[in-house]
Amino acid sequence: MITNRRGFLTQAAAAVALASTSSHSVATQSRHQGATSEKPEKRPIRVNRIAVSTYSFWQFKNAELRDIEKNIDWAADMGFDGVELLHRQMEKEDNGTLQRIKRRAFLQGLDLCGFSIHQGFLTPDKDERKKNVEHTIHCLELAYLLGIPTMRVNTGTWKTSKDFDELMKNRGIEPPIKGYTDEDGFKWVIDSFEQCLKTAEKCGVTMGLENHWGLGRTPEGVLRIVDALDSPWLRITMDTGNFLEDPYDRLEKLASKTALVQVKTYYGGGLWYSLDLDYDRIAKMLRKHNYRGYLSLEFEGKEDPLKAVPKSLALLRKAFA
């Protein structure tokens, strides 16, 4: 009797365990089946933050709009999220001035998101290249002191044009110095940027090679230099206004390696030329490449910047919303 009872209890316990295991297996299978049939959740679109370059106010000619700290105040009042500083616009660069600029931006709730400098390595003169490498390194250190994470750089030009106005008249095209070729230029430029990489890494400042003039006039030229060095500290600053023909396909070639996008507007007609840019199309392209970084306005029109810059912000907010 006792034996039978023990046998019954043992069989009953085994049956309960089997049922529990079976139920767990069915539930697990059901969850897995449900997981495979459910569509993955869509990630929310992150709206790009929009900054303004101090160049948009000064434009190398508006003396009354040059003051960097006033530019920061205007940017805040107009509703921007950040400011990109133009190095040549700075009238002083001692540490006290740098820290005042950084403090001013912080108190206005703005990021200092970019630093734009002028340098060039497109010359056979070794001493001139060395001078420009040293200038680039100096500016990387300034960006570090300002807390700025990316710095616009260029290849430079051959300087065979009489001046910048002539270069623009020729749509950025100029012949190399007699006796040299673009192939020589690529070697000089790549070697010079390589000398700046250690400082960029130490300072945590990503250099962004702009599609500008010289060897950066085409996406292929920009990518040749960036790919040759294959460093996270040399990426691309995409400028929407520097491809004068068929800009959209050319801009897209740069998108996956872009650290900062400079966006041009031309209210009142361009200082050198005007482009009718489709920012809805550009926004869609950048979203396709998952670009989440800053857009920095470079207003390059003849209208009063204090009127045209807010209009430009409204245009960009609408396109990139």
Q: Which residues, other chains included, contact 95 with Cβ-Cβ below 8 Å and sequence gap of 6+?
A: 145
**Collapsed DSSP state (helix, strand, coil) of residue 204:** coil
- The answer to whether 236 touches 256, Cβ cutoff 8 Å, is no
Domain annotation covers residue 24: no
Encode pLDDT of 76-107 as tens digits. 999 999 999 999 999 999 999 999 999 999 99
Give a yes or no: residue 45 inside a domain.
no
Indicate the DSSP class of residue 314: H
Mean pLDDT, residues 56-75: 98
Domain membership of residue 27 (yes or no) is: no
Closest by CA to 257, choosing from 217, 299, 297, 226, is 226
Position 30 pLDDT exceeds 50: no
What pTM did the predictor assign? 0.86
- Show Cβ contacts of residue 164 under 8 Å, excluding neighbours closer than 6 positions: none
Residue 308, domain member (yes or no): yes
| Residue 317: its H or E element | helix 305-320
Q: What is the CATH number of the domain that holds 139?
A: 3.20.20.150
94's enclosing H/E stretch is none
Question: Which residue shows structure tokens 């290849």?
Answer: 155
Q: Which tokens is 155 given? A: 């290849």
**Within a domain: residue 10?**
no
Q: H or E element: which one contains 5?
A: helix 2-37
**Higher pLDDT among residues 250 and 34, named by residue:** 250
Report pLDDT for 165. 87
Structural tokens at position 277: 């840019």
Is 39 part of a structural domain of the chain?
A: no
The token pair that represents 292 in the structure block: 């989440």
Overall residue count recorded for the chain in this entry: 321
Beta strands in 20-174 (DSSP E): 50-53, 82-86, 111-116, 150-153
Tokens 């010079």 — which residue? 192
Q: What is the C-alpha to C-alpha distance for residues 248 and 154, in angstroms, rounded to an integer?
A: 21
Map tokens 């809805």 to a residue.
280
Task: Look up the domain containing 94 and give its range.
Answer: 50-320
Query: What pLDDT, in 10s, does the model give residues 204-261?
Result: 999 999 999 999 999 999 999 999 999 999 999 999 999 999 999 999 999 999 999 9
138, 117 in Cβ contact below 8 A?
Answer: no
Structurally, the chain folds into a number of domains equal to 1
The amino acid that residue 133 corresponds to is: V
